[in-house]
Chain A
C-alpha cells in the first residue's frame, strides 16, 4: 500500500466532496475503500474515481440510478480492456507462425485458413 489516504484527506483533496456524499457513494457500492485496522483507506485510484463521480453528479446532473449504471458499464469496459491487454500480451509472446495464424483468423471470417 504505497498510497493510502484517510477519509479526511480525500474530502480535502476533492473540492466538491463532503463526508455525506462520500458515505452516499459507499452505500451505493460505487466506491469501496480498503478495510484496514485504522479504518477505511483510499488510494489514488479511488480519489480519481470519486472526482469523476462528483463531476458526473454536479456537471452532468446524473441521478443516482444512472450513476450506478454508468460506473458499472465503465468498470466492465475497463475490465474487458484489461483482459484484452493480457490476451494481446500472451499472443505477443507466442512464436510468429501462431501470431500470423491468429491474425488471419481475426481478419478473415473466423474459419481456419
Chain B
C-alpha cells in the first residue's frame, strides 16, 4: 500500500503547489541519490518523496488524486535507475575524460607516480599571462568496430558541432581508451594555445571474436571426424583466415593457441586462443549409428571418471 503522498512530503492536503515543490526540493537536496552518491541509504529515503512529487506536481493529476479518481499507486513506475549506478563503473567516459585520462594506464615510474597521484587533477587553469588562456579541451566519444580497433585504422569523424577531425585509431586500441589530439580542442583566448580534443573509444563487440587482454578468443566448431582424426581447419583471425591444426582425438573445450595472432599490446602481440567445440552431424544416419553401437560394445570409456558423486 503506497504511502499518502502528502505525508511523504511532510505536508497536508491544503499545501500549495509552491509548498509541494519546496518540500520536495528540501528532501531531494539531502536525499537525491545522484546528489549523494556515497550514501547507499539515500535512495530508499528519496523514493517516497520522488513518487509523491511526481504525482502532486501536475495540477491535473493532483486534482484527480484529491477527488479519489486515482490512488497514489497511479504514480507507480517501473523502478528507475540512477546515474550514479552507471557512473561508478570504471568505464564511465565522463569521469575519465574530464580527469585527463586514467593515471593507471599511462606508462609511469612507480616512485614518481605515487608522489604525484592526487596532484594534476585540477585541470585546465594554467594561465600563461593576463588575458591569454588556452582554449577549452573538448570531449568526444567514438564508436569503433572491433576489427578496426584490433588492427588500427584512420578515420575521419564529423563533430556534433560541425567540422571534421582526422583520428588515427592505434593498433590494439582498447575499449575505453582515450586518445588525445593536441591542439584540436576549442581555440585559445588571446595568445593562448588551442585546447586538446579527448576522444574516448567505444569498441563495438564482435559476434565471433572476444578480447581478453591482448589475446583474442574464438570458438571453433569442428565435426566429429575432425575431432577424431585431426586435420587442418580454417579459422578466422583479426588479420584474415588461417589454418589451424586440430590434433587427432581433440575434445570440446580444448584450447589451441595461435602465437602472435592476437592484438598488439604493450609487450608485443597477444595470441589467438581457439576453443574447440565438437558439433554432431545434423542427421545421424544408419551407418553412423551402427558403427557407434558396434564400437561402444568393444571400447567403453568413461570421460566422467572421478566427477560423479560416490
Contacts and interface: CB of A to CB of B under 8 A. Distances in A.
Interface of A: 1-2, 4, 26-27, 29, 32-37, 40-41, 43-45, 48-49, 51-52, 55, 59-60, 71-72, 74-83, 85-86
Contact of A48 (B29, B86, B104): B86
B260 interface: no
Contacts of B87: 45, 48-49, 74-75, 78
Given A44-B81, A45-B93, A82-B88, 7 more contacts: A32-B94, A51-B80, A71-B94, A72-B98, A78-B84, A78-B87, A82-B95
B143 A41 contact: yes
B104 A83 contact: yes
A83 B86 contact: no
Contacts of B103: 83
B143 to A, nearest CB: 4
Interface string B81-100: 11111111110111111110
B82 A48 contact: yes
A21 B164 CA distance: 24
A12 to B, nearest CB: 15
A107 to B, nearest CB: 19
B160 interface: yes
Given A26-B160, A40-B160, A33 B141 contact: yes
A76 B121 contact: yes
A33 B38 CA distance: 26
Nearest to B161: A27
A92 B302 CA distance: 42
Complex A-B, nearest 6 residue pairs according to Cβ-Cβ distance, in ascending order = A79-B95, A45-B86, A36-B143, A48-B83, A78-B95, A79-B99
Q: On chain B, which size bracket covers the interface? A: 35 or more
B104 A78 contact: no
5 contacts: A26-B160, A75-B87, A76-B99, A78-B95, A86-B90
B179 to A, nearest CB: 13
B204 A78 contact: no
Contacts of A27: 161
Contacts of A72: 98
Interface of B: 21, 24-25, 28-29, 32, 34, 37-38, 53, 80-90, 92-99, 102-104, 121, 138-143, 157-161, 202, 204-205
B143 A85 contact: no
Nearest to A58: B57
Contact of B98 (A4, A45, A76, A86): A76
A45 B92 contact: yes
A78 B93 contact: no
B94 A34 contact: no
Contacts of B94: 32, 45, 49, 71, 75, 78
Contacts of A43: 86
Given A33-B141, A76-B99, A81 B88 contact: yes
A37 B29 CA distance: 40
Contacts of B104: 83, 86
A103 B141 CA distance: 39
B157 A35 contact: yes
A34 B142 contact: yes
B25 A59 contact: yes
Contacts of A81: 37-38, 88
B141 A29 contact: no
Contact of A35 (B28, B138, B158): B158
Given A1-B202, A35-B160, A48-B83, A59 B95 contact: no
Contacts of A2: 205
Contacts of A35: 140-143, 157-160
